[in-house]
Amino acid sequence: MVKKKEKEILRKPDIILKTIKSAMQFVQNNAKQCSIGLVVFLIVVAAVAAYGFNAKNQYDKTQYRLSQGIQSFNEYNASGKKEDIDKAETIFNEVAQKKKGELSYIAKLYQAKINYTRGKSEDAKKMYQEVMGSTSSATLKALAEKAIQHIEKK
């Protein structure tokens, strides 16, 4: 008797099969709405993927511009040419305006360093304090704090 009940239980469809069967029945009964829903879903997925790709591309461009600014600043330190520091300052202003997270704070640190180099200690100190108050990066906060201490010593 037990074996007969076990066989009977095994022959009954389980919950997964019942769910699949009811889903297939729903799709057959509502084919047009399901097709439209699928198309809308694919469009949303494509839009999200395109947005993600574009955001990464913009971040990469900003990072490249920051590296160009740092390179110009290093060239100024090596040669002392005014056009190199002007170019670096322009690039750092551009990057800081884009507000791309930590990249903008790094650009502000360099802007402050340029201001300090040009003798604008108070402007530099304000920028360092702004970075300290805005960023969540412990490294950037430490750099800004050390720079402020250096300005206050002089």
- 82-133 pLDDT per residue, tens: 898 899 999 999 998 887 788 999 999 999 999 998 888 888 899 999 988 8
Sign of the torsion formed by the C-alpha atoms of 74, 79, 83 and 86:
positive
Domain assignment of residue 59, yes or no: no
Whole-model pTM: value is: 0.71
Its domain, for residue 119, covers 105-154
Q: How far apart are the first and last CA of the chain?
A: 98
Q: Where are the alpha helices (DSSP H) in 80-118?
A: 82-98, 102-117
Domain assignment of residue 26, yes or no: no
Domain assignment of residue 66, yes or no: no
Domain assignment of residue 57, yes or no: no
Residue 23 tokens, joined:
């889903």
Domain assignment of residue 54, yes or no: no
Domain assignment of residue 151, yes or no: yes
